[in-house]
Amino acid sequence: MNIVIADDYQNCVRKLDCFSLLEGHSVTIHQAPPEDRAAYIERLRDADVLVVVRERAHVDAELLAALPRLKQVALVGRHSRYIDYAACTRHGVAVTHGIFASPIAPAELTVALILASRRQVVFEANRMRAGQWPATFSSRLDGSTLGIYGLGVIGTRVARACAALGMKVLVWGGEGSAQRAQEQGYEMALSKQDLFTRADVLSVHLRYSDRSARAVTRADLDLMKPSALFVNTARAELVESDALEQALLAGRPGFAAVDVYENEPIMNGEHPLLKMDNVVCMPHLGWADRETFELYFGEAFEQVRLFATGGALRLANPEVVVRRA
């Protein structure tokens, strides 16, 4: 089979142990994003199987119509809102998916971003590299208040780590967050406004959905302290468009740290947050450590192997008539 891996941004898939699951097949890997839609279609034209990372690829009716050879989309992850599952079913394309979701890597990166921002790690490291004298005071975490917006599996790990560093944990969210806050001994904010007003560091860990989209507004950010840090490693779309950039320019909050953006990947440094010294920006790599890659890509490649050998598949569109030949 011709297998195309569409979006290996870090050029690391061939280094994974699980890559051996694709032995015996022709594998083409693309690292850089395509210039446009036509170039993307041309890349995939000969694919029997397309392996895509959850939030990086759009698979819709137009693309499927241009790829008559395509029989399987192997999703790296559990679900993608960028895949038209109904269109895949109509075109006889099986969509397989993973079952695991590890909170460890994104939680660790969140804590790293909090420490890097509060202790001015990136700013001062860059000044030192440029031969410049130190220029900032940093702020300790001990004794300050961590606001967690959404105490799920990732938020719980972040709260636990920051509490171990001496932070007071303040939580806001739905019923599940309230229950977990009570079980874990954290204070529940009186309201969302109370959370944003009191937090010295506020980290968003909501699960993205139509209901949670744009849950953080400019009015919320305006409530934050001029010394406060806003952290988002969940989804950019949880925040009102352009609200964070505008709020930072207005001075509330005073700092931000993010690894998510509305249009990814960010190329050529073209994003307003990258122009701000009070913001720590990472590529969208919160999930991307070796262990997670082995887990997620291993699931996807195992589904490709089962497709090739006639095995039972884990289908995201179970009503599809699978075409193996």
Catalytic annotation, residues: 235, 264, 284
Q: Which residues lie closer than 8 Å to 51 by C-beta, 6 or more apart? A: 3, 4, 5, 6, 73, 74, 76, 297, 300, 301, 304
Report the helix count and the strand count for the chain, using DSSP H and E: 11, 12
Helix/strand/coil for 92: coil
- Give the tokens for residue 318: 């179970």
Q: Shortest CA distance to 19 belongs to which of 228, 266, 297?
A: 297
CA–CA dist 281, 126 (Å, integer): 14
Helices 175-184, 153-164: inter-axial angle, 10-degree rounding: 30
